[in-house]
Every structure is written in structure tokens, then in C-alpha cells.
Structure 1
């Protein structure tokens, strides 16, 4: 199952010494796993983890047609279109999303690129 999980590991030795370690991990299902992703090299997103906004930054020479934000199960939660000739930075409001992992999918023609990001407050 996809999501954010807290993992606890407890170990002890023969002398009775114990140690406890906790770690948060993100498990996801990449909707574009196994596909060639050249479009991704033209863009980046930040901050990650995010709180209220994510910034999609382009290299200034390439534009995208549309974007979607999907949960880790592939459900589309948000979408938008780009009508700018060249993208430098697009700010996307993600304040309505709950904490957890999401995908930003950008599209240009038949090409798609996915970016995993996490909402943390």
C-alpha cells in the first residue's frame, strides 16, 4: 500500500542492552514507472517537502501543455493548463492537499514527466 509510514526498530543483545530507532518512510506507486522520461530533464520542482505551494521551474526554453497532481494510487486531485509561451517558474497552490506523497505530472504532446513530492506541515 502507498503512503507515509512510521517504522520502529527495536534491538537488544545478550547483555540486555536495547536500542530503538524510528524512521518515516514514503511508499509510492510511480504512475510512469518504466517509461522513458526525457521531458523531466527540462523541469524541477521545489520545495520538497512542501507546505502550501510548489514551484515548477523550467529551463526557459521548453514549455508544457498541462499538469495533474495525483495521489499515490493514481487518482487525479488537481489539474491545470499552461498558456504561457515559455515556462520559467509556475507556482502551484497545494494548500488543500493533506499531508503525504503526491505526483506532479506534466505533459507536452504525448510526453509525460512525473515528480514525486511530499506535503508536510
Structure 2
């Protein structure tokens, strides 16, 4: 009995240790896909193997479909209606079943697709990295007409077969990333924060998240951002343009 207890304790310590080293890699995508823009393909973990393609397909007449194509061994979470991936809310577990191949995020035909006109939702991902399963998510929006997909952010667990929650990031450990140099003032702030950033960043976008990684505000970069509706606490401001990103904390009074 003593040996069994010691073995159990060792197993529990090993599990805790594995959880402790789990790391969520997350970054902004900030892409808008239309028929005229063409498809957008993403290599989530930057291993030179493409994982997903997002595209708008023209159907008969003016009808369109918003689609994700899983490449290689990649899959998407598809637990409700096969072929129509789940549109997850923030904080949902990414779990099986999954499907591969083509899947409709939204379509004008048959009323299919769970993302159509639903606002920003999360698509659960199951990645194949070096032959092992890694779970992840991508935040996106499909407009009601199914002719535009907007991709926001993406994240995945670097630990194989470890769980992940949609929208979860490691923002709690982020102080700042200086690929984009900017300042927030006043900080702390009660109503308006002003952002000082390079004038060349005309196409930059901003987002404000809480410390769990939940997206609170987003938009095209502007010098002043109204934060009066935010609850008091600490938040992360992210600026992104192309492959450049910067993050800093600010306190809402």
C-alpha cells in the first residue's frame, strides 16, 4: 500500500509538472478575406507546413460561402453538425470530435454555417506538429452576407495533447513586447487613454484584453481610445501591423 501511495503521488507531481510547463503561443492575424482578396493560408506554428486556408467561394448568382480548409493532418472542432464547425464563445473547451477537409463557416445555401452573423467567435483547432496533436483556437467573424471573413487572433498549446480554452493566452505574464514601440498615457486612466505610436503605422489595429486573454475592445488604430465603460482593473493593449506586434499593460481606475 505504501508503494502504491508513493507511486500515485509521483504520478500526480508529474501531471502538475506537465501543466506547469504548458505554454500558449498566441499572436494577432488581422486578415480580412473576400472574393477579391483571394484566399488566406496560415502556417500556425511556423514549421513551414501550412495548416489552414480561409476563403470565400462564389456560388450560383450572388450567393457565397465562407469556408475553412484543413490542410495535411490539421482538423477543426466539429461537434454539433458535421461539416459546420462549432462557433465557440470565449472560455469554451476545445475538444473532439474534429473533422478534416473542407468545412463551411457560413453559407447562403441551406442556411448552413454557425458563424454567419454571430459576431466574433472562436474556431477550435487540432494541429499536427511533428506527428503530435496540439489544440488551439482562432478568433474570427463571418459577416451576415457570408462574403467576408475577418480573422483576429490565434493561439495553440505547445504541449502535445494538453487541453486549451478558447481565447486563452499567456497575457498574464506579458509586460511588454517592443517590436512596436508605443506609450500609453495617462496610466492609470479613468476615461480616455492616448496612444503614442510611430506615424508610419497608418494601418495598425489595436485590441484591449483582460488578463485572462478575453477580448474587450478592438478597432483601427487611433490616438485616443475611450475606456470609460471598462471595469476597474489591469488590461493589455495590443498594437499590430503586418508581422509586428507590441503589448503593454494599463490600469483602468
Q: What's the TM-score, normalizing by structure 1?
A: 0.60
Correspondence for 1:9: none
Pick from 108, 111, 115 the counterpart of residue 244 of structure 2: 111
Change (3 A) 1:81 1:61: closer
1:57 has 2:200 as partner: no
Indicate which of 92, 100, 116 corresponds to 2:225.
92
2:170 matched to 1:37?
no
Cα deviation, residue 110, structure 1: 1.6
Q: Distance in 1 between matches of 2:249 and 2:234?
A: 7
Gaps of 5+ in 2: 1-170
Pairwise CA RMSD of aligned residues? 2.2
Q: After TM superposition, give the deviation of residue 94 of structure 1 in Å.
A: 0.2
Structure 1 residue aligned with 2:213, among 74, 80, 88?
74
Could you state the TM-score of these two structures normalised by the residue count of structure 2?
Answer: 0.30
The structure carrying a bigger strand percent of its residues is 1
Q: Distance in 2 between matches of 1:115 and 1:31?
A: 8
1:31, 1:74 within 8 Å by CA — same for their partners in 2? no
- Partner SS, residue 29 of structure 1: helix
| Structure 1 unmatched ranges of 5 or more | 1-27, 83-88
| Greater helix proportion | 2
How far apart, in 1, do the equivalents of 2:175 and 2:233 lie? Answer: 19
Larger RCO, structure (CA 8 Å, separation 6 or more): 1
